[in-house]
Amino acid sequence: MAKRLKSLSGLDAGFLYLENAGTPMHVGSVMLIEVPKTRSKKKYDFQSELMQHLHDRLPRAAALRRVLKETPLDLAHPMWVEIEQVELKKHVLKKTLPGNGGMAKLHALTGKLHAALLDRNLPMWQFVVIENVEPGVIALYSKIHHALLDGQGGVALAQVLLDIEAKAPKKTVRKKTTEVDDAPRLRKRDLTQTALRSTVNQFAKLLRALPGTLKLAGDMSSLGKLKNLRDSILLAPRTPFNQQISSTRSFATVSVSIELVKRVARGFNVSLNDVVMAMCGGALREMLNKSRQLPKQSLIAAMPVSLRESGNTDSNNQVSMVQCSLATDIADPVERLQAIRASTAQIKERVATFKNMIPTDFPGLAAPIWASGLSRLWASGRVAERLPPLANVAISNVPGPPIPLYLAGAKLRHYYPVSIVTHGLALNITVQSYAGSLEFGITACGDIVRKPEALAAALSRSLHQLNEILPE
């Protein structure tokens, strides 16, 4: 029985502890899906097709079959236990947009859905089929807890659920099951033994890494690199985004041609990611300038970087954060782009040097108590508003599939990411490439960024501005 238990790493568990600050820690997506044309007079029911599809794919999607279990006496981080059957009716819901539907109403509903916590007594994911978006198009909002996977882990899960051609789900009979009845009956002794073993292994892992860390720190050339790393830590200016956030969420999307982004990147001899960061910098500069809230110092972005080794497909978190200047203090868009290029070049060098020293785990002894307590203190003390900010916005760029994909036999027209905001970081811009487009999803605290669609429009304008001034 204990073989089915898996302790969370410190990083994975951290996303659970952070929810005690009142900030949901799940990620997700909004897919626009073309309704397949059928010869039957019966109305097409995507919810039923999706449930059948999930039933077929669940055996290969372990992340969707994991239920959270607390450890006795909080001896370690919580654990995942895998179950065989999932009651899909609790996870696949349906909503209908009012009136004539449209993207504005879809964005508003997405914000409301994304603000709600996932039930920790069930596998921590949810799909919501949304009808009446526009003629011939429905939407699917999905969310999955960040404790289960990072961006690359999400890509691996998508490869299990999505197809490169239209495949209708197999018409098999689904058993009526419940998670509670199907969950393995775990003995307290199994939980305790696994918790103690996990904590011992985490301490042992730290001790094994210590000699290498000390050797790196003792090397004279490394000392210089450590000093450079310390000196390179940036303090961000205070902006409207560096506030305590409420429970509301706002959301908006925009798609741009990936060929146009590549054209700009080639024209200015920079990377595609540099152009994405320049789009964000230009859009944020425009937005804050209009409200007369643009600081003289450049805004700083927090950028997730993957620590995942090549070939690693584990569905857990292996990421860290780095800082990147958005050069919003520079009015000229070309000079701003070149400044961003210099900033990202330094990031690549630092990550390559210190990648093996960045921890993604820590011992879980009593962590559910002290880590959750720190999280609550972070919120109740409004600590994010008292400390100097290290970033103003989170920006993440996730590579996606270059070709159209299908879900339960239906074609995905767009695939927008939805992400996380926290106290002191009320704005998140996540972009994913998909089928010839860059799909931007803007997630924000609804009381701080009330009209994220204005920022979405500014992102597009920022790209076209760079395209118009390309060198001959």
pLDDT of residue 176: 47
- Run of H or E residues at 82: strand 79-82
pLDDT of residue 121: 93
Is it the case that residue 271 has pLDDT exceeding 80?
Answer: yes
CA angle 122, 123, 127 (to 5 degrees): 105
Beta bridge partners of 440: 254, 431
**What is d(CA 196, CA 184) in angstroms, rounded to the nearest whole number?**
20
pLDDT in tens, 5-34: 777 877 788 888 889 888 999 999 999 999
CA angle 252, 254, 258 (to 5 degrees): 150
pLDDT of residue 339: 97
pTM for the full model? 0.85
In the chain, % of residues over pLDDT 70: 75
Domains 2-196 and 220-403+413-468 fall in the same CATH topology: yes
CATH fold label, 220-403+413-468:
Chloramphenicol Acetyltransferase (3.30.559)
Can you give the residue ranges of every domain in the chain?
2-196, 220-403+413-468
Mean pLDDT lowest among 40-54, 266-280, 308-322: 308-322
Q: Tokens 């959750």 sit at which residue?
A: 372
In the chain, % of residues over pLDDT 90: 56
Assigned superfamily of 2-196: Chloramphenicol acetyltransferase-like domain (3.30.559.10)
pLDDT in tens, 306-359: 655 555 455 545 556 788 999 999 999 999 999 999 999 887 666 655 554 445
| Mean pLDDT of the 432-451 span | 97
pLDDT of residue 461: 98
In this prediction, residue 447 has a pLDDT band, given cuts at 50, 70 and 90, of: very high
Mean pLDDT lowest among 66-75, 296-305, 361-370: 361-370
Q: Which residue has the higher pLDDT, 166 or 413?
A: 413
Active site amino acids? 146
Contact predicate 419/430, CB 8 Å = yes
The three state secondary structure string of 448-470 is CCCCHHHHHHHHHHHHHHHHHCC
Q: Is 417 helix (H, G, I), strand (E, B) or coil?
A: strand
Beta bridge partners of 429: 395, 442
Is it the case that residue 77 has pLDDT exceeding 60?
Answer: yes
